[in-house]
């Protein structure tokens, strides 16, 4: 009976220590929204150029994970800025990826962030202990408050 109680206490303590780490790693900025809204219409856009109104009123969207195969959809995301400069799209393994926020393509295609890190502005950042990126990118802790395990003032 005493061993069972000790085992339950040990499992509870491990869960309380590991859960904040898992919660931070399970969040994914790429899940927010289904489309990238381009900052400008690319030069190869297929809209007719006979009307200035049509050109300025077109809002070009690219669905996240769009195929960028050279045969079927060339140059769809070749260094394209989107979402008011917060996304930069590149073709990584035949799919459009945001190299400013994708943990598997951070800063460049194929550059993966480690466990506990997120891609903040194209740089892998430890969000478990960073006051200016606590738990997620751009979440700042108040002055004098530490970031522990991805939470401001955890202790």
CB-based contact 100:113 (threshold 8 Å):
no
pLDDT of residue 125: 94
Give the angle subtended at the CA of 132 by the CAs of 153 and 87, to the nearest 5°: 135
Digit-coded pLDDT (tens) for 48-66: 444 444 444 455 888 887 8
Residue 48, CB-side half-sphere exposure with 13 Å CA sphere = 2
Q: How far apart are CA 98 and CA 74, in angstroms?
A: 17
How far is residue 152 CA from its own chain's centroid?
21
pLDDT of residue 66: 82
Phi then psi dihedrals of residue 18, to 5 deg: -90, -30
Q: How far apart are CA 127 and CA 123, in angstroms?
A: 11
Q: How far apart are CA 23 and CA 78, in angstroms?
A: 33
Kindly tell me if the per-residue pLDDT of 29 is higher than 50.
no
SS3 for the chain is CHHHHHHHHHHHHHHHHHHHHHHHHHCCHHHCCCEEEECCCCCCCCCCCCCHHHHHHCCCEEECCCECCCCCCCCCCCCEEECCCCEEEEEECCEEEECCCCCCCCCCCCCCCCCCEEEECCEEEECCCCCCCCCCCCCCCCCCCCEECCEECCC
Digit-coded pLDDT (tens) for 78-130: 888 888 888 899 888 888 899 999 999 999 999 999 988 999 999 999 999 89
């Amino acid at each position: 009976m005493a061993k069972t109680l000790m085992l339950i206490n040990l499992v509870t303590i491990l869960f309380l220590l590991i859960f904040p780490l898992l919660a931070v790693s399970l969040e994914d900025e790429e899940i927010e929204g289904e489309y990238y809204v381009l900052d400008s219409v690319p030069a190869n856009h297929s809209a007719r150029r006979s009307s200035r109104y049509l050109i300025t009123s077109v809002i070009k969207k690219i669905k996240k994970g769009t195929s960028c195969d050279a045969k079927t959809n060339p140059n769809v995301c070749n260094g394209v800025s989107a979402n008011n400069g917060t996304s930069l799209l590149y073709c990584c393994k035949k799919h459009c990826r945001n190299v400013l926020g994708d943990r598997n393509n951070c800063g460049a295609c194929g550059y993966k962030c480690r466990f506990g890190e997120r891609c903040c502005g194209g740089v892998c950042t430890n969000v478990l202990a960073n006051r200016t990126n606590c738990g997620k990118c751009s979440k700042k802790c108040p002055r004098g408050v530490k970031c522990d395990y991805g939470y401001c003032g955890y202790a």
